[in-house]
Structure 1
Amino acid sequence: MARAVRATRIQRASWTLSPDISSTPIARHLVRAQLTDWGYDGESDIAELLVSELVTNALLHGRGVPVITLSFREGTLRCEVEDENPALLQVREEPDNDENGRGLLLVDMLSRSWGTDRTRAGRPGKAVWFELPAHPAYQAS
């Protein structure tokens, strides 16, 4: 008896940003445009907010140029922001003040899951990522 095997389609987009604060609104625009292109009908506002937090964090506390990778697979939207600082991040239980320390708390509260990983060989640093449930209205061709 033959079994049907369903291929899993992964959609992926990646961008290298400049290492200055003007990259944060550019990152939000890139994410919104890509989600629109993929037909994402979920919470794109949340994805934009969270990518904004991760990019800003990479620009203020990371090293090198940030790289964003957005992927969609089996109902999950994943966003990774890489930088060249190898120090892994942790959520602060209580932010220092009104200006600092709230970004990762937002990521923690609004995402399905999040974390940090070391980057692949050949690129020192870390990737901070989050995942959101996502249901595109159609499959991009």
Structure 2
Amino acid sequence: MPTPVPAPWEYTLYIPHDPRAVGICRRALRDILTSHHLPALVEPAELLASELLGNAIRHTKGPAALKLRRSGPTLRLGAWDTDPTPPGTKPQDDESDEGRGLHLVDAYADDWGWFQVNGTAGKYVWCELGAP
């Protein structure tokens, strides 16, 4: 008997430009994944969401948003911010801790990318995790 495909769902959490909002989103993310019976994704999703939202807060001046979407076996996390500038990474041999977030996203996510939103309305950086 084939395993039933779960119904898709989506949440969007809009946050102010406040570093405390990252922790609030992590707690909401944990509650959402637990309520959808996905406890195995809590830790990697919290790490990835923290990196994406931390970058949005650190490198922009406006509000941000975290979007979670489950479609089939895939969980997509995305962070929107008001700056249309492409996300950047620093070389791996740099001694600084700055700029390493996207290296973590690349290492832990199954896939990731970004796109500009409506020209100058900001950008959306996303990553995906396969759900168990």
Max radius of gyration: which structure? 1
Counterpart of 1:38?
36
Shift of 1:122: 9.0
Instruction: Say yes or no: does 1:131 pair with 2:128.
Output: yes
Check the 8 A contact 1:78/1:131 in 2, yes or no.
yes
Matched, 1:87 2:81: no
Q: Match of 1:76, as an amino acid?
A: T
Unaligned runs of at least 5 residues, structure 1: 1-5, 136-141
TM-score (norm 1): 0.82
CA distance in 2, matches of 1:35, 1:52: 15
Supply the RMSD in Å over aligned alpha carbons.
Answer: 2.1
- Are the structure 2 counterparts of residues 45 and 86 from structure 1 closer, same or farther at C-alpha, using a change threshold of 3 Å? same
2:10 to 12, 19, 22: 12
Distance in 1 (CA, whole Å) between partners of 2:120 and 2:99 is 27
Identity between Structure 1 and Structure 2 (%) = 32
Shift >4 Å, 4+ stretches:
none
Q: Deviations over 1:7-61 (max 9, x none)?
A: 9832101110121111111111111111011111433101001100111100011
Tell me how many residue pairs correspond in the alignment: 129
The structure carrying a bigger helix percent of its residues is: 2
Question: How do residues 1-141 of structure 1 correspond to structure 2 at under 5 angstroms?
Answer: 9-94=7-92, 96-119=94-117, 121=118, 124-135=121-132
What are the ranges of 5 or more consecutive residues in structure 2 without an aligned counterpart?
A: none
Query: Does the CA contact (< 8 Å) of 2:84 and 2:120 recur in 1?
Result: no
Q: Which TM-score applies when normalising by structure 2? A: 0.88
- Closer/same/farther in 2, CA of residues 95 and 84 from structure 1, 3 Å limit: farther
